[in-house]
Chains A and B, each alone.
Chain A
């Protein structure tokens, strides 16, 4: 059976760069398959397949939340990885949705954050961090010691027990403790039922289905007014 690594994080934080380091680490002993879910455009499948000669796939979510898309296709992807003879499937999310989290049970959930995003960034993406197993903070080569420390404090605020790994992912420095978690990861059991960690937020409104009018009066589903924070369901 396949071992699953789910890598999430905002755009351009270094997810693929971290994944390259993981592939380099395991390639001697394991065969890796790679899946990228993105919204409209991604190149990683071609790059990683050319660099490492591994089976890769990408899928575009278009008008669906890419994390929801990932949840839909991950079961198929595990089957595909198995058919390819892979031991490890690495799934890289688009990381655009800060409400949803793509982590599922019996996998290693890795949240990649960039220290270049500013020290408040962890506070803004709490769900993506809190349900992960490891938070990898990239680009620490570019920021001051003070900001590194404050960034870490802010991750701790969101998730006190989080396993935090700081790295210059291009050089691969500091990833030792992430790679240890990869080595320790068990495969999904035969016939094991794999589920999403935590409840995804209910987020369906008529904006989601493509209505472009502004103002809550023109929508239904989960809607909001400025003056009150409660959900209102307006029906028709």
Chain B
């Protein structure tokens, strides 16, 4: 089975109050961009946790996850180097006191089939996702939140080769979200964003809406939100610009 034919299916479980979830199924295919939205505590993280562990009715939600319509092979579930899914959260860190290059090389060595120059490509890719440049000899521990997230995404895509990425609330980290989405679509990776960010939500092809531990809606807005997307993109660019100016020590006396 190649990554290009991988379909992950989420089957319904129960809500927080124990009722049956009413959605039919969610299929995740290469190149898909899906956002997961809903109030705090509505079960967004629980949903991507289900996907990450290939739940079989054995998590709090009772959901089941299929791979190409069948039970996932045991190696997918158990061996992180075989697993087609990489999850990055706000808490995901590199603990070791290594340089960026040493960190990536360590990962390349653990992956017997990876080629060494891929570490350099990963640094270059990370730099497409973040404004603050990452250098090979930077210490991992000195990277900013945005640099770390960017590097971990690049690492998951290039060195792990994971066809599916789960990103839990990484929007505050200050990465170029549109770059990340554009790139992942281009290389046919599926990505699920747990997000409170309107821009990421509108950039996604599909939007899963959650409440009370339940998937309540699966929206495919298509072109109907095109106008809103334009406005949100402008607002997002405006805010990003302001953020940069504030960061660099400006006072915003001029009307913005």
Q: Which residues of A are in contact with B by a Cβ distance under 8 Å?
A: 116, 118-119, 141-150, 152-153, 164-166, 168, 171-174, 176-177, 179
Q: For the complex, what is the distance from the CA of A179 to the CA of B53, rounded to whole Å?
A: 14
Q: Is the CB of B94 within 8 A of A150?
A: no
Q: For the complex, what is the distance from the CA of A149 to the CA of B152, rounded to whole Å?
A: 14
Q: Is the CB of A173 within 8 A of B49?
A: yes
From B21-29, B126-134, B155-163, B227-235, the one touching the partner chain is B155-163
In the complex, chain B residues 202-239 whose Cβ is within 8 Å of any chain A Cβ: none
Tally of contact residues, B, Cβ under 8 A: 33
Known contacts A141-B89, A145-B155, A145-B156: A174-B53 contact under CB 8 Å: yes
The 7 closest A-B pairs by CB, nearest first: A146-B107, A149-B110, A173-B53, A144-B94, A150-B110, A148-B80, A174-B53
Residue of A nearest to B79 (CB): A152
Q: Which of A116, A146, A176 contacts B103, CB < 8 Å?
A: A146
Residue of A nearest to B46 (CB): A171
B44 to chain A: closest CB distance in Å? Answer: 14
Contacts of B94 in A (CB 8 A): 143-144, 146-147
Q: Is the CB of A146 within 8 A of B106?
A: yes
Q: For the complex, what is the distance from the CA of A180 to the CA of B36, rounded to whole Å?
A: 32
Q: Which of B49, B110, B156, B162 contacts A153, CB < 8 Å?
A: B110
Contacts of A176 in B (CB 8 A): 53, 56, 58, 77
Identify 23 residue pairs between A and B in the complex whose beta-carbon atoms are under 8 Å apart, listed by A's number: A119-B106, A143-B94, A144-B92, A144-B94, A144-B95, A145-B88, A145-B162, A146-B106, A146-B107, A146-B155, A146-B159, A146-B160, A149-B107, A149-B110, A150-B107, A164-B78, A165-B78, A172-B59, A172-B60, A173-B53, A176-B56, A177-B78, A179-B58
Contacts of A172 in B (CB 8 A): 59-60
Q: Is the CB of A143 within 8 A of B93?
A: yes
In the complex, chain B residues 61-107 whose Cβ is within 8 Å of any chain A Cβ: 77-81, 86, 88-89, 91-96, 103-104, 106-107
Known contacts A153-B110, A173-B52: A144-B93 contact under CB 8 Å: yes
Q: Is the CB of A145 within 8 A of B86?
A: yes
Q: For the complex, what is the distance from the CA of A191 to the CA of B152, rounded to whole Å?
A: 55
Q: Which residues of B are in contact with A by a Cβ distance under 8 Å?
A: 49, 52-53, 56, 58-60, 77-81, 86, 88-89, 91-96, 103-104, 106-107, 110-111, 152, 155-156, 159-160, 162
Contacts of A118 in B (CB 8 A): 95-96
Known contacts A148-B80, A149-B110, A149-B111: A143-B49 contact under CB 8 Å: no
Q: For the complex, what is the distance from the CA of A165 to the CA of B60, rounded to whole Å?
A: 19
Q: For the complex, would chain B's binding face be called helix, strand, loop or mixed by DSSP majority?
A: mixed
Contacts of B88 in A (CB 8 A): 145
Q: Is the CB of A145 within 8 A of B152?
A: yes
B228 to chain A: closest CB distance in Å? Answer: 34
B194 to chain A: closest CB distance in Å? Answer: 14
Q: For the complex, what is the distance from the CA of A147 to the CA of B106, rounded to whole Å?
A: 8
Q: Is the CB of B53 within 8 A of A142?
A: no
Contacts of B111 in A (CB 8 A): 149
Q: Which of B60, B91, B160 contacts A145, CB < 8 Å?
A: B160
A223 to chain B: closest CB distance in Å? Answer: 35
A37 to chain B: closest CB distance in Å? Answer: 29
Identify the interface centre among B60, B79, B95, B152: most chain A CB within 10 Å of its CB.
Answer: B95
Q: Is the CB of B104 within 8 A of A146?
A: yes
Contacts of A146 in B (CB 8 A): 94, 103-104, 106-107, 110, 155, 159-160
Q: Is the CB of A116 within 8 A of B95?
A: yes
Q: For the complex, what is the distance from the CA of A152 to the CA of B103, rounded to whole Å?
A: 16
Known contacts A143-B94, A145-B155: A150-B106 contact under CB 8 Å: yes
Q: Is the CB of B96 within 8 A of A119?
A: yes
Q: For the complex, what is the distance from the CA of A141 to the CA of B95, rounded to whole Å?
A: 12
Contacts of A152 in B (CB 8 A): 79-81
Q: Is the CB of B81 within 8 A of A149?
A: yes
A183 to chain B: closest CB distance in Å? Answer: 12
Known: A145-B107, A146-B106, A150-B106. 5 other contacts (CB 8 A): A145-B152, A145-B162, A146-B110, A164-B78, A172-B59
